[in-house]
A and B are shown apart, each in its own frame.
Chain A
Amino acid sequence: MEEREECSFIFTKSAKEDILDLLDKKVGDRGTIVEKDNPEQEVLSFESQELSLEEFGGVQKGSEVFISNNIVSLMKLAKKG
């Protein structure tokens, strides 16, 4: 099995909306993250909560699982390893 290169991928706070665009998402009228092609569809965090741009902390595998930057959410993520 091919080894995956160890590399971290991060983005700056100012690049958040550009990253969302690259993921075909955007900030909707209510200030939460929505699908670009279907703004009625909210993008939920891995805890099934709506995410504002401010709360948006990143994405991980699992059909694009969105991550909140709230410390309680990050603690759950950290425990998974």
Chain B
Amino acid sequence: MVGALDRLKGLFNIDINSPIINVVYKKNSDNTTNSHNEVEYNKSERKLDVILDNISPEKNEKLKPIIGELINEDHKLLEEETADSLRGLIEYNENPGEDTQIKKFFKDILQPLDYEALESALYLRKKFAEGNDVSKAKRDLRERFGDRGGNIANLCTGGYFEDFLKPLYNSSPDKFKQLYESIVGKSIIAIFVHKNMDEDEIAYQLSTKITACKKYGIDFLHIRGIGQSNVQKIKEFIEEHKDEFDFDDKMIYESDDKGIIMVELLLDS
């Protein structure tokens, strides 16, 4: 039986004996040279480019059932960045490494949607640690789960699931249940400063979260930032406002090479 790939070769009269392992549907605008060819084959990469804007309308109509057929043959047809992301996620799931423990721990503790967010947040954290741009992944979490998704991403990257929530659950499941919503829903234990956050917003969050932490018997609050401008913003804020807020002491942890700052405010609860 002739498969979809063979029919594709037939449609464009491609006489290639070596295997094709990548078919890329693209436009002329994707190429650096303006090709008039319908297809281009790269032998070393075994890649076939199908240049869609060079295909006649008649041939386009013949291409349609072939596309349908390749999907029916259980091939995925993916946008290239999506394909990269999916590949990365499959590799990660095959070997989550240290994340296995935290996933196992929280799987039956968290509500299903929060656990879904945590799984993606753990992957985001891994890619961030590897130096990748994770801004889309973070936006995706916010888009899917609102502020809660963003909070889970930030808390996960900050290590709070391992270092605070897990020990809290182990010491007192009841206290965990009491505090969980405030921590994950409202992020009361940490302020994550971002580029669009001004001084007034930091001050507002600081004031409300100090009050919330004291109410729940939490004796610390963190202010965190990533990137030079956020680090600078936090340092300036702490210096200019140190007398205004009700905390006992502070510790500053900074990593110049990673561009990360964490200010730990110790609270008299």
Contacts and interface: CB of A to CB of B under 8 A. Distances in A.
Interface of A: 2, 4-16, 18-19, 21-24, 56-61, 64, 67, 69-72, 74-79, 81
B26 A22 contact: no
Contact of B78 (A5, A11, A21, A78): A11
A58 B119 contact: no
A18 B89 contact: no
A11 B93 CA distance: 25
B86 to A, nearest CB: 5
B21 A8 contact: yes
Contact of B26 (A6, A15, A75): A15
Contacts of A75: 89, 93, 116, 119-120, 123
Interface string B32-76: 000000000000000000001100000010011001101111111
B124 interface: yes
Interface of B: 1, 3, 5, 19-27, 29-30, 52-53, 60, 63-64, 67-68, 70-83, 85-86, 89-90, 92-93, 116-117, 119-120, 123-124, 136-137, 140-141, 143-145
Given A10-B25, A24-B64, 14 more contacts: A7-B21, A8-B22, A9-B77, A10-B78, A11-B78, A15-B25, A19-B25, A22-B63, A58-B83, A61-B74, A71-B137, A72-B144, A75-B93, A78-B86
Contacts of A4: 3, 73-75
Interface of A is mostly: mixed
B68 to A, nearest CB: 8
B178 to A, nearest CB: 28
7 contacts: A2-B1, A10-B23, A11-B79, A22-B60, A23-B68, A69-B81, A71-B123
Contacts of B53: 18
Most buried by B among A56, A60, A69: A69
B22 A10 contact: yes
A21 B140 CA distance: 26
A9 B143 contact: no
A58 B67 CA distance: 12
A21 B63 CA distance: 11
A69 B141 contact: no
Nearest to B27: A14
B64 to A, nearest CB: 5
A9 B70 contact: yes
A70 B143 contact: yes
Contacts of B77: 9-11, 19, 58-60
Contact of B71 (A8, A64, A69): A64
Contacts of B67: 19, 22-23
A58 B82 CA distance: 8
Contact of A78 (B22, B73, B93): B93
B71 A57 contact: no
Contact of A58 (B29, B70, B79): B79
Contacts of A81: 90
A8 B83 contact: yes
A60 B76 contact: yes
